[in-house]
Amino acid sequence: MPPNPPAPRRGARYVSGAAVVVLFQCAPLGIPWVWTADWPVTVQTVVSALLALGIPEVGILLGIALIGKSEVKRIWRITKVLWRRAFR
């Protein structure tokens, strides 16, 4: 049996997860291209809906999976502290 590959470094996981989230959140920018394409209206509607509603959510889930549970908890803690400071 081959040895297990080394686990990715924490920093690399964070950067790759953040990159996935950012790239998938840019998916709605492709909607104007879809409507200029010579496709049937139903296909344009379905693809636009996926670009606006489906793909960004999948990207968030993938990004969270890449970042890891402990890092996501740390980000939430920091966010909550900043939120409380902003609205005191």
pLDDT, tens only, 46-60? 999 999 999 999 998
Question: Per-residue pLDDT averaged across 4-28, rounded?
Answer: 81
Q: At what angle do helices 10-25 and 55-67 cross, to 10 degrees?
A: 170
Q: Are 60 and 81 in contact (CB under 8 A)?
A: no
60, part of any domain: yes
5, part of any domain: no
Range of the domain at 80: 10-86
Residue with structure tokens 């980000």? Answer: 75
The answer to whether residue 29 scores a pLDDT higher than 70 is yes
Number of domains in the chain: 1
1, part of any domain: no
Looking at residue 2, what is its pLDDT? 65
54, part of any domain: yes
Looking at residue 8, what is its pLDDT? 57
68-84, pLDDT tens digit by residue? 888 888 888 999 999 99
43, part of any domain: yes
